[in-house]
Amino acid sequence: MAPRRKKIYEGKAKILYEGPEPGTLIQYFKDDATAFNAQKKAVFEGKGVLNNRLSEYFMTGLGNVGVPTHFIRTLNMREQLIRQVEIIPLEVIVRNFAAGSIAKRLGLEEGLALPRPVVEYSYKNDALGDPMVSEEYIVAFGWANQQDLDDIVALALRVNDFLSGVFYAVGIKLIDFKIEIGRVWDGDFMRLIVADEISPDSCRLWDVKTGQKLDKDVFRRDLGSLTDAYTEVARRLGVLPTNATAMAKPTLIN
Ligand code: TMP
């Protein structure tokens, strides 16, 4: 059970609570999965534990190569301490290979290598089904200015290079992913940092050899056990939670 404290926001897969210090929040990872704008819903025991660990792993790795993120530290199996940010209401999507909506929109075969990484944006609005928007829309409606957009593209491409390498090293192709960007202020100076989460909920991950899907498409397309797929990703990366009470079998202590 989540401890009793002030809830700031509850989304489909995570809850944000007030943090211990000003400017911090606690991010709690739920086991809930949704797809197609929450028309399809299920609960996968242990998913939150896996995503908490995986997001910690990717955010820490990004921090180590100089990409700023909201991650501060892991608190427990399902919670991490993060910097409070002002979320830019965009889903920033980077695609290396055709899949999902771009395959449908342009009639491309899934798995086709794109000529170069492609960055696109959706406006975060569940009531509208997160419609795709252009840079022109983003600037015109004031969600971000042109300088912000230049910074967002630079961040997104650095995240893409980092994640592509990390996954390829363990036999996984990063087909595409989504990140969210937040604003933080140091005095008058505003910076953009990677926020939200990076996990198999927000990436497409295919086994390099077999093409097996190891991401939320397993749930979207009813391809098997989502927990097994995420566990395989964590196992390959060497970050399988060891004492995950949600998943561990009882062990005899002598
Ligand atoms: P798409 O092909 O459905 O547009 O998805 C592109 C990528 O963005 C894919 O890795 C899944 C991720 N994504 C999210 O994280 N949240 C969403 O709401 C959607 C639609 C996609």
Nearest to 69 by CA among 8, 158, 6: 158
Task: Give all domains of the chain, ordered by start, each with its CATH number.
Answer: 7-85+226-246 (3.30.200.20), 87-207 (3.30.470.20)
Asked if residues 221 and 40 have their Cβ atoms less than 8 Å apart, the reply is no
Low-confidence ranges of the chain (pLDDT < 50): 245-246, 248
User: Is there an atom of ligand 1 within 6 Å of 217 CB?
Assistant: no
What is the 84 CA–ligand 1 centroid distance (Å)?
24
Cα 137 from Cα 140, distance rounded (Å): 5
Asked if residues 175 and 97 have their Cβ atoms less than 8 Å apart, the reply is yes
| pTM for the model | 0.94
- Both structure tokens of 127: 């009531």
What is the 220 CA–ligand 1 centroid distance (Å)?
11
Q: Quick one: pLDDT at residue 19?
A: 98
Q: Quick one: pLDDT at residue 4?
A: 73
What is the 7 CA–ligand 1 centroid distance (Å)?
26
User: Is there an atom of ligand 1 within 6 Å of 178 CB?
Assistant: yes
